[in-house]
């Protein structure tokens, strides 16, 4: 769906995107990650036609990026929202659909579908400027989808949202391949990407470091981790704070994710703590993490 060859963008002496060769397969959800300033947003703007490359080329569904034919195939939600705040939510979607060439009847039907799917029905008649940040993010996703594109390009779609708002966006993204869409999504919240992307591309200093499946990236670069479920995760997290081999402890998706350099030692210490404090263990398994892989890759770049 997306193909780039030596895609490069310079701003004066600064090389923002440096000769990237990228393939995003049709029907996939493909993550795009990198630190601030890595070139993610610039690369996405090249793909949607907001910028022209200094060198190289990109195609969308076989059409040159930036061409009318390519733009008809994609929907785009930028990191910096540019919604028409004086319009109602429904009015804005209908406006965007008409701008994409949809008939009045089709755009109304499609707007109704998206407003319901993204839990915006009750706010459809309100001005967009009165929406919360999470509602505006969901409306931006809706406008990107209004014309039923084959490809969605989403730049940091959960930026600035609370956990509930992020979860609503993630739940929506998981369903998109079932609707026949390809999704290319950037994010710096790597724990979220692990939940819904199949492949990930990591960008550093404008260059691609690796493109592979989540599992392959985790195995190649990630540290060791244990995924643990107990009947009192918060208490276990407190107890692990004093365990040296537990380098970092997070609670996410109803489980503990414990980073370590010695999984066997951590497992032994953890089992002892559970017995000592009469806490029941529901499950424990080894897990690599994208966050650990990302950190390792960035450290390599600094050496």
Regarding pTM above 0.85, the answer is no
- Local structure of residue 179 (DSSP, 8 states): G
In tens digits, what is the pLDDT along the chain, a chain of 303 residues? 999 999 999 999 999 999 999 999 999 999 999 888 889 999 999 999 999 999 999 999 999 999 999 999 999 999 998 899 999 999 999 999 999 999 999 999 999 999 999 999 999 999 999 999 889 999 999 999 999 999 999 999 888 777 777 888 888 888 888 888 999 999 876 767 877 888 999 999 999 998 998 877 766 666 677 889 999 999 999 999 999 888 778 887 678 888 887 888 999 999 999 999 999 999 887 665 666 667 666 666 554
Q: Which CATH code is given to the segment(s) 2-218?
A: 3.40.50.300
What is the rounded CA–CA span in Å between residue 198 and residue 32? Answer: 11
End-to-end CA, the chain: 35
Of 122, 171, 118, residue with least CA distance to 140: 118
Q: Does domain 224-287 have CATH number 3.40.640.10?
A: no
Which residues have a Cβ under 8 Å from the Cβ of 276 and sit 6 or more positions away?
none
Of 120, 101, 102, 119, residue with least CA distance to 110: 102
Of 160, 80, 161, 88, residue with least CA distance to 128: 88
H/E run at residue 44: helix 40-48
Domains of the chain: which residue ranges?
2-218, 224-287
What DSSP assignment string belongs to 204-254? ETTEEEEEEEHHHHHHHH--EEEEEEES-HHHHHHHHTT-TT--EEEEETT
DSSP 3-state of 275: helix
């Amino acid at each position: 769906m997306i193909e780039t060859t030596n895609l490069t963008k310079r701003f004066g002496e600064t090389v923002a995107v440096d000769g990237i060769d990228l393939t995003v397969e049709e029907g996939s959800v493909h993550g795009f990650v990198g630190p601030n300033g890595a070139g993610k947003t610039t690369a996405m703007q090249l793909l949607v036609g907001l910028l022209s490359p200094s060198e190289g080329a990109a195609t969308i569904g076989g059409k040159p990026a930036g061409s009318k034919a390519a733009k008809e195939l994609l929907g785009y939600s930028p990191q910096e929202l540019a919604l028409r705040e004086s319009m109602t939510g429904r009015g804005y979607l209908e406006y965007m659909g008409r701008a994409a060439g949809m008939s009045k009847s089709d755009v109304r039907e499609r707007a109704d579908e998206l407003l319901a799917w993204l839990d915006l029905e009750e706010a459809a008649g309100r001005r967009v400027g009165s929406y919360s940040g999470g509602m505006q993010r969901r409306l931006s996703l809706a406008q990107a989808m209004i014309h039923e594109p084959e490809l969605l390009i989403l730049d940091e779609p959960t930026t600035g949202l609370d956990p509930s708002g992020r979860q609503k966006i993630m739940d929506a993204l998981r369903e998109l391949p079932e609707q026949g869409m390809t999704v290319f999504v950037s994010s710096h919240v790597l724990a979220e990407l692990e939940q819904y992307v199949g492949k990930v591309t990591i960008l550093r200093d404008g260059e691609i470091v690796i493109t592979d499946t989540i599992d392959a990236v985790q195995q190649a670069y990630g540290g060791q981790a244990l995924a643990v479920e107990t009947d009192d995760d918060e208490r276990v997290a407190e107890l692990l704070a004093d365990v040296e081999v537990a380098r970092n402890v997070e609670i996410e998706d109803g489980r503990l994710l414990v980073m370590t350099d010695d999984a066997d030692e951590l497992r032994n210490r953890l089992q002892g703590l559970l017995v000592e404090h009469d806490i029941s263990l529901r499950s424990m398994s080894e897990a690599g993490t994208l966050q650990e892989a990302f950190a390792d890759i960035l450290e390599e770049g600094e050496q």
